[in-house]
Structure 1
């Protein structure tokens, strides 16, 4: 009887592995391993310290985390103007201001604190120079699945809290 029980138990376990292939694997991965890849910007919401909402522009962009601890982040306003001259070295002053204020890009290295689900960034270069080597650049992972990543930036340079949503690039 115990041989049949063991065989039956092993059979059920094997069938479960094939029927639910991602259920145990994702839970076994570290947060860093789950982050690795490119995530496409979906949306963001912002709040001031008093809890009031901050209107967010329409953006497109992405964040990429590599397995060796590097990252790249960029968002661009979807309503960015095209340069009338067609020459990226010759925008009008208004075009240059619209582009400069509508692009956020930075890159550098990152580490992950698995216990607090926090990504700590060391920004090496940025379209916003104030971020370079700025202390406490952190993003809190509020949710992550194979398809979706939700991050909170607890304090931007403007003093707001951002909640960002990304989907995994295909």
Structure 2
């Protein structure tokens, strides 16, 4: 090959390589840089210690991780009823119970152990009072891409391991 042909092939390669998408962009970021942002709840599965499945309700929600170490998490069952009275201060006892058992929300600070892919949570406020200040609250990042986040909650107070799937908010 002559020099002109080699030069032409190199020029074509330099022009076309950026046109192909690459996942190496995400691989170059730290786990924290990849995690920061808002993620929309997609689904969850639960398992007991014996491996048996735990039915999970249909829900909507989100989790947000900030660069300064704060997080916010909320899920709401999709079957939570609207208040018949229209007044949020006056639900019926049944409506209040449905909301109380259908909403999980908490917020606080987190630290991230990049080597174990574990977020250690310090829950400061929660719709479940027992979560506040509870020790060893952690979420393990089992998979993360630019578009999807999978977390494991290794042991809930009910003794269940949860696998949660989120998609990045647009």
Q: Above 0.5 in TM-score? A: yes
The 5-angstrom pairing of residues 13-162 of structure 1 reads: 14-15=14-15, 18-20=18-20, 22-162=22-162
CA distance in 1 between partners of 2:24 and 2:13 (Å): 12
**CA gap 1:89/1:16 in 2 versus in 1, 3 angstroms:** same
In 1, the alpha carbon distance for the partners of 2:8 and 2:123 equals 54
Normalising to structure 2: TM-score of the pair? 0.90
For residues 15-66 of structure 1, the C-alpha deviation after alignment (integer angstroms, 9 at most, x for no partner) is 4761345433211100010011110000000001111100000100000111
Name the CA shift for 1:162/1:16 in 2 (closer, same or farther; >3 Å): farther
Mapped to 2, the partners of 1:46 and 1:110 lie a distance apart of: 23
Pairwise CA RMSD: 2.1
Distance in structure 2 (CA, Å) of the matches to 1:27 and 1:86: 49
Between the aligned partners of 2:75 and 2:69, the Cα distance in structure 1 is 20
Counterpart secondary structure, 1:109:
strand
Per the alignment, do residues 119 and 11 of structure 1 end up closer, same or farther by CA in structure 2, a change over 3 Å counting?
Answer: farther
Question: In the aligned structure 2, how far is the partner of 1:128 from the partner of 1:94?
Answer: 18
Structure 1 unmatched ranges of 5 or more = none
Q: Hey, what's the Cα distance between the residues in 1 that align with 2:23 and 2:143?
A: 16
SS class of match (1:68): coil
The unaligned stretches of length 5 or more in structure 2 are: none
